[in-house]
Each structure stands twice: as C-alpha cells, then as structure tokens.
Amino acid sequence: MELFPPFEPHATGALPVGDGHELYWEVSGNPDGPVVVFIHGGPGASTAPTYRRFFDPSFWRIALFDQRGCGRSRPHASVEANTTAHLVADLEVLRHHLGVERWLLFGGSWGSTLALAYGQAHPGRCTGFVMRGIFLFRPDEVEWFMSGMGRFFPEAHRRFMAHLPEAERVRPLAAYLERLTHPDTHVHMPAARVWCGYEEACARLLPRDEGGDPDGPSTLALARIEAHYMAHQGFMRPNQLLDEMDRIRHLPAIIVQGRYDLVCPPQSAADLARAWPGCELRMVPDAGHSAMEPGIRAGLVDAVERMKMRIRR
C-alpha cells in the first residue's frame, strides 16, 4: 500500500509542558474520528509532513508533535529536564490539551520505546499500538548501536571512531556526549555531523549514496539527545519494558520489522512479540530500519488500516 496523498493540518500550536519546554503539535484528518498519535524516533528526531500520510485522513484524527528539544519545540536541542518520564508526562499533557480520551500509538525505533513506556504508564488511555524497528533500550541494544553496527558497516564505524582521539575510543559514548553537550559550536557540531552520518549510513538495506543534510536543523538535536538518552540507559530500569508487559498485554498491537534492520535488529521485535501473545509481528524480508523503505512504508500503512477494525472506540 502507498502513503495517502498529502494533506495539511487543521490546527497547530505550541504547548507549554513545564521546565521551560514548549512542544510543537498539530492535528489533521477527521475531527470526529478515532485518534492516532505519531511518536517520532531518535530520541532527538522530529515530525515531518510526510508522516501524516501513513493515516487515512477521512477516518483518523491525526496528532503529531515534536518531543522536548526536537524539531519546532523549544528550547532546541535541550537535554535539561529531558527524560523518558518527562516525555511520558508530556504525552498526557498533550492528550488533555487536545481533549482525547484514548488514542492509538504509532511509533518506530525510539518511538516504539516511548509508545511502550507511555502505554505501560497509562494503559487505559491506549486503543492499541502500531510499531516498527523495536528498541527496548536494553544495554546490549545500546552497545550494538555504538559498535555492533560496524560489523556490517565498517567504513561508517571507522569514520565514527576516527572523530575521537585514540585514547577516548574505549568509551566512545561518554566521549561523544562530552562533545555534543559542549557549548562551543565548533566542538558540538562536528561531533553531531559524524554521529548522524554514522546512523544514517546504517539505516537502510540499500544505503543512500549521499546522506541527509549534515548541517540540517535536526542534526544537533538528534545527536545530542540520542547520546544523552543512551548514556542514561533510556532513564529506565534494565528490561523494564518487557517486565511491565502485563499492563498492556490485552491491547492489540502490530509490529512491522525490517529483516535487515541493523539499527534495531529483529531480536528485540521477536522478544517483544513473545511477551505479547496478541501482538502480530510482520517481518519485512527486504528492508532495513527506515520507515520510508518501500516494504516498511507499505507494511505500516496496511497495519494502520487493519487497526481500524481492531480498536475499540
């Protein structure tokens, strides 16, 4: 299935959520339809107009927002008062602000992490889940990002490590976090470009010849906030998301997972599906991590379409 044709939001705003943070939000689609909330990845990425198009605007009321420090939210690239608990609380503030009783959670990569964390904190506010690229924020998943991906993309990993002095390469996450949070733009921006370039190089089954804009507005936010969360184990207990599955096991869920996702390998999706008997795991045989790869994109649109019949309004 293809994405729906482009359409515009009918409401946007800036929502104060405390601690000096203000979130960008938008709503599109059917004002009277069941609600779906798009939870973007990273942590540190942002929403984009294309992401509305996973959803049928004649059926869904579609909420998108940029998380703390991300995209059009302010302050930009801030890691102050920026933890998983803060983001879960922000979702509740947004839900109340929009007058939503319950909503379908749609998220990929870090978006799947936050969707699960929110769902387990507020199961009564969820109608179900559509997720891709499952990331449970276990220590081995963070270690895989920092070094394991290099087994398949050695050139990208070599560039990633080469940015650091040799003495600091034994603890690359700490070394990168120190640079990414440095106030001098001549220190944090080069580190951010290399960090994002490494992730981008590993994100697709068939890598792009050229990566995205290395000086784009999201570069610093993505690198800085991602490293901040990784250095703090996602601000969660080890194995927390699997341990708390009893809180959402009754809800419908569909996972769309790229077989060759090297950012979030399929083992995490398989572990989550085993802990969630009512969850449907759909493995896409010719895809990596990116939501915009053809097989992942089609699988997500189809999953949301099928959720129309499974959710309880």
Residue 6 in domain: no
289 catalytic? Reply is: yes
Query: Does 99 share its domain with 169?
Result: no
Domain boundary, last residue among 183, 216, 234: 234
Query: Does 119 share its domain with 261?
Result: yes
Express each pLDDT in 261-312 by its tens digit. Answer: 999 999 999 999 999 998 999 999 999 999 999 999 999 999 999 999 887 5
Domain boundary, last residue among 234, 257, 276: 234
Query: Does 204 share its domain with 304?
Result: no
> Residue 309 corresponds to which tokens in the numbers above?
């019949």
Cα atoms found within 13 Å of the Cα of residue 226, Cβ hemisphere only: 28
185 CB-contact burial (10 Å; exposed 0-12 / middle 13-18 / buried 19+): exposed
Q: Which domain holds residue 226?
A: 140-234
Q: What is the CATH number of the domain that holds 132?
A: 3.40.50.1820
Residue 5 in domain: no
271 catalytic? Reply is: no
Query: Does 185 share its domain with 268?
Result: no
Q: Provide the percentage of residues in the chain whose pLDDT is more than 70.
A: 96
Query: Does 192 share its domain with 58?
Result: no
Query: Does 15 share its domain with 120?
Result: yes
Express each pLDDT in 62-75 by its tens digit. Answer: 999 999 999 999 99
pTM: 0.96
Select which of 163, 261, 268, 290 is catalytic: 261
Select which of 228, 268, 289, 290 is catalytic: 289
Query: Does 227 share its domain with 117?
Result: no
Select which of 109, 112, 218, 268 is catalytic: 109
Query: Does 109 share its domain with 258?
Result: yes
User: SS in 3 state form for 275-301?
Assistant: CCCCEEEEEECCCCCCCCCHHHHHHHH
Residue 279 in domain: yes
Residue 2 in domain: no
Q: How many domains does the chain have?
A: 2
> Residue 300 corresponds to which tokens in the numbers above?
């997500």
Residue 3 in domain: no
Query: Does 87 share its domain with 210?
Result: no
184 catalytic? Reply is: no
Domain boundary, last residue among 219, 234, 249: 234
Residue 1 in domain: no
Query: Does 80 share its domain with 186?
Result: no
Query: Does 207 share its domain with 243?
Result: no
Residue 25 in domain: yes
Selection from 101, 69, 106 nearest residue 86 by Cα: 69
| pLDDT over 90 at 181, yes or no | yes
Query: Does 144 share its domain with 197?
Result: yes
Express each pLDDT in 93-135 by its tens digit. Answer: 999 999 999 999 999 999 999 999 999 999 999 999 999 999 9
CA distance 46 to 69: 9
